[in-house]
């Protein structure tokens, strides 16, 4: 049991250090940057604006 808690504590410490360094360098949160990178490529195709799609078809 102690081994698992020790590994968990090491992981939390490494993750906290990584997050702290990342926050000092970047203004946006890492999750926001990942979503922008992934979602930015397909955002136009995934819209749910029915009126916009209707007017884009010229009807």
The pLDDT value recorded for residue 43 is 63
DSSP state at residue 58: T
Domain positions in the chain = 2-56
**Residue 24: what are its φ and ψ, rounded to 5°?**
-70, -30
From CA 18, how far away is CA 26, in angstroms rounded? 12
pLDDT tens digits, 17-32 = 998 998 899 888 888 8
The answer on pLDDT for 59 being more than 60 is: no
Please give the angle made by the CA atoms of 42, 44 and 47, to the nearest 5 degrees. Answer: 105
Residue 14 has pLDDT above 80, yes or no: yes
The whole-angstrom separation of Cα 46 and Cα 54 is 15
């Amino acid at each position: 049991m102690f081994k698992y808690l020790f590994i968990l504590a090491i992981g939390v410490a490494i993750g906290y250090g990584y997050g702290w360094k990342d926050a000092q360098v970047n203004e946006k949160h890492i999750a926001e940057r990942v979503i922008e990178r992934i979602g930015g490529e397909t955002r136009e195709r995934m819209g749910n604006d029915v009126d916009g799609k209707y007017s884009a078809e010229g009807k």
